[in-house]
Chains A and B, each alone.
Chain A
Amino acid sequence: MNAISVNSLQKEYQVFNRKPGLWGSLGSVFWREWNNIKAVDSISFQIGEGELVGFLGANGAGKTTTLKILSGLLTPTSGSVEILGFKPWRREREFQKRISLVMGQRTQLWWEIPAQETFRLNQAVYGLSDKDYQESLGELVEMLELKDYLAVPVKKLSLGQRMRAELAAALLHRPKILLLDEPTLGLDVVMQKKVREFILDYNKRWKASILLTSHNMDDLTALCRRVLILEKGKLIYDGNLEGLVRRYAENKIIRIVFDGDVPASQIAAIGGTVDSQKTSMWVSVPRAEISKKAALLLSSFPVADLTIEEPSVDEIVRKIFSKS
């Protein structure tokens, strides 16, 4: 059964030209000039129960808009979205109890008081019994190593500690659907790793369906077997990471180790981009010409070792991002 099912989803924003000043803004309450912007352009995808999917795209490609539609914050212009049988934008209480949205740069924690107070508030908001709350809290505190920070005012927490507390606040009600917008934004490498491990752990433990956006390649390679790529509001790829490489890598990389020095300029005459490091060189060559070029390299230079590699996912994605 699909946990999330999206069919030809469209979202057009009507952005109005703001007029300056008090009277301008008062007037704009009643009449405005509109501009249409297509943020999401007929996209369809399904996400199964327990699936962990990465959501990629350049800034403004429509990722956040889609997440907001899925969480019920935005009403789509057309198309259908069904999450666990609910239509998100109706914001039914039963639906809201099953999802959660975490935004890396926004917080629901109260700033001046300890995070555990916000947890308690969420207990009341989600109507959790004391037993469920304690159980859920105990688990999250352990998984996120939050024990020492529960009683510290949020403003005194480091960014990493705060993000973990944020996750705990968002997951106390054990949502089956978790939407994460840049969950590792601004965290140091160690903290990123911890957050990733937690997300994976939560996903396994509760068979929760998770959709996450990130600009951080490590997030995607560590967490998501499947990725969705958006470009200018259109879904341009839906599949696993390896497939992504096959589809988008036009070139392969020949790695050569020479016996002695070979000037980079001579190699450049044969292959594409050259990256050199003392006696090792990387030459980027179109797929079709790979064997021809490799033979040419072997016959023309003192080669000690030669391997043919696929470009890294990182590079591919960076290329996709830079394109749009």
Chain B
Amino acid sequence: MKKYLRVWWKMSSMSLMAQVSHPLGSLGFFLGKIVRVAFFFAFIIAIFRHVKSLAGYSLEETALFFLTFNIVDISAQILFRGIYNARRAVTEGDFDFYLIQPCPALFRLSLTTFDFLDALTLLPVLGVTLGILHHLSASIFSLRLLLYLLLTLNAVAIASSFHIFVAGLAVRTQELENTIWIYRDIMFMGRFPIEVYGPMFQLVLTFVVPIAVMTTFPVRAFLGLLSWEWIAYSFFLSITLLGFSFWFWENSVRQYTSSSS
């Protein structure tokens, strides 16, 4: 464990050094991310100057959905930034070095380019979220808050499973660098509570591409609107998906080491 922390720390500081070597470029990425969160947030606030509710939710509640989406989204990006370069790592041979060195390849691949700037964008999001959570509930420590935290972590686990799956695809096929963008594009829908979408989409977003489980369920649980069946479903889903994605990853590496040239 301590060794992994050291490897992670070293890799993170190295990617920070690499970023600092072209400051203008890094500043662009950082500001872009901040602007995206800030503008949408401003948009939601602006909307509520004209209406009282969105699909039955108040401003604070709607904001909480949006913020939860961002927490999940940014966390997954922090943890799996390297996956966006997985195909390149495989075709250019970096992945071969990961495989022959005494440190798990998936760990190296995902955390290779940990981004401090990403972590920095998470801070204001967490701050505002805490404020709203405090505003919406009488006591800070409650079962609902605990459920919210657990389900948010659960959402990060589901996001992780997608990323691991995509990493497996990259290793297996050495193509499909775009697959991760499908995930990112569809995730766009997670910015709003799924009640916004039609009934058919709600079903799809709950069972097929479980964005609802990732971004809507934690907030619903916090608001006391989620039954225990759905909570159980959420945890069941993340465990299944994580299990599958790890299996798929292992299997892909095995394929790689027995068929690639």
Contact with B along A113-153 (1 / 0, CB 8 A): 10001101111111100000000000000000000000001
Contact with B along A81-97 (1 / 0, CB 8 A): 00000000101010011
Contact B21 A112 (CB under 8 A): yes
- The answer, among B6, B14, B92, B178, for a CB contact under 8 Å with A113, is B14
- The answer, among B11, B101, B169, B258, for a CB contact under 8 Å with A29, is B169
Contact B102 A127 (CB under 8 A): yes
> Given contacts A73-B96, A124-B3, A125-B7, is CB(A153)–CB(B21) below 8 Å?
yes
Say yes or no: is B93 at the interface (Cβ < 8 Å to chain A). yes
Contact B94 A108 (CB under 8 A): yes
Contact with A along B81-111 (1 / 0, CB 8 A): 0000000000011101101111100000000
- The answer, among B7, B172, B254, B257, for a CB contact under 8 Å with A73, is B257
Q: How far is the CB of B26 from chain A (nearest CB, A)?
A: 11
Contacts of A68 in B (CB 8 A): 96
Q: How far, in angstroms, from A284 to B172 measured CA to CA in the complex?
A: 53
> Given contacts A73-B257, A93-B102, A112-B21, is CB(A25)–CB(B173) below 8 Å?
yes
Contact A74 B260 (CB under 8 A): yes
Q: How far is the CB of A4 from chain B (nearest CB, A)?
A: 15
Contact A96 B257 (CB under 8 A): no
- The answer, among B3, B18, B254, for a CB contact under 8 Å with A127, is B3
Contact A72 B101 (CB under 8 A): no
Q: How far is the CB of B97 from chain A (nearest CB, A)?
A: 4
Say yes or no: is B17 at the interface (Cβ < 8 Å to chain A). yes
Contact A65 B259 (CB under 8 A): no
Contacts of B227 in A (CB 8 A): none
Which interface residue of B11, B22, B178 has the most chain A CB atoms within 10 A?
Answer: B11
Contact B259 A13 (CB under 8 A): yes
Residues 1-59 (chain A) with a chain B CB within 8 angstroms:
13-15, 22, 25-26, 28-29, 39
Contact A29 B172 (CB under 8 A): yes
Which interface residue of A65, A89, A97, A127 has the most chain B CB atoms within 10 A?
Answer: A127
Residue of B nearest to A97 (CB): B102
Say yes or no: is B10 at the interface (Cβ < 8 Å to chain A). yes
Say yes or no: is B139 at the interface (Cβ < 8 Å to chain A). no
Contacts of A75 in B (CB 8 A): 254, 257-258
Contacts of B54 in A (CB 8 A): none
Say yes or no: is A167 at the interface (Cβ < 8 Å to chain B). no
Say yes or no: is A103 at the interface (Cβ < 8 Å to chain B). yes
- The answer, among B7, B172, B261, for a CB contact under 8 Å with A65, is B261
Say yes or no: is B195 at the interface (Cβ < 8 Å to chain A). no
Contacts of A14 in B (CB 8 A): 259
Residues 1-42 (chain B) with a chain A CB within 8 angstroms:
3, 6-7, 9-11, 14, 17-18, 21-22
Q: How far, in angstroms, from A120 to B12 measured CA to CA in the complex?
A: 12
Contacts of B18 in A (CB 8 A): 110-113
Residue of B nearest to A65 (CB): B261
Q: How far is the CB of B170 from chain A (nearest CB, A)?
A: 11
Q: How far, in angstroms, from A73 to B259 measured CA to CA in the complex?
A: 10
Contact A28 B173 (CB under 8 A): yes
Say yes or no: is A178 at the interface (Cβ < 8 Å to chain B). no
Contact B257 A110 (CB under 8 A): no
Q: How far, in angstroms, from A196 to B111 measured CA to CA in the complex?
A: 36
Contact A106 B92 (CB under 8 A): yes
> Given contacts A93-B102, A113-B14, A127-B3, is CB(A108)–CB(B97) below 8 Å?
yes
Residue of A nearest to B261 (CB): A13
Residue of A nearest to B4 (CB): A124
Say yes or no: is B209 at the interface (Cβ < 8 Å to chain A). no
Say yes or no: is A99 at the interface (Cβ < 8 Å to chain B). yes
Contacts of A120 in B (CB 8 A): 10
Q: How far, in angstroms, from A190 to B135 measured CA to CA in the complex?
A: 72
Say yes or no: is A66 at the interface (Cβ < 8 Å to chain B). no
Say yes or no: is B176 at the interface (Cβ < 8 Å to chain A). yes
Contacts of B10 in A (CB 8 A): 117, 120-121, 123-124
Top 10 closest pairs, chain A to chain B, by CB? A106-B93, A96-B102, A112-B18, A124-B6, A93-B102, A108-B97, A75-B258, A124-B7, A121-B10, A113-B17
What is the interface of chain B, defined by CB distance below 8 A to chain A? 3, 6-7, 9-11, 14, 17-18, 21-22, 92-94, 96-97, 99-103, 169, 172-173, 175-176, 178, 254, 257-261
Chosen A-B contacts, 29 in total, with CB atoms closer than 8 Å, are A14-B259, A15-B259, A25-B175, A29-B172, A29-B173, A68-B96, A71-B100, A72-B99, A73-B257, A74-B257, A77-B258, A93-B102, A96-B102, A101-B100, A103-B96, A106-B93, A106-B97, A112-B18, A112-B21, A113-B17, A120-B10, A121-B10, A123-B10, A124-B7, A124-B10, A125-B7, A125-B102, A126-B101, A127-B3
Known: A25-B176, A75-B258, A99-B100. 17 other contacts (CB 8 A): A13-B261, A26-B176, A72-B100, A73-B257, A91-B99, A93-B102, A96-B100, A106-B97, A108-B94, A117-B14, A118-B14, A121-B7, A121-B10, A124-B9, A125-B103, A126-B101, A127-B3
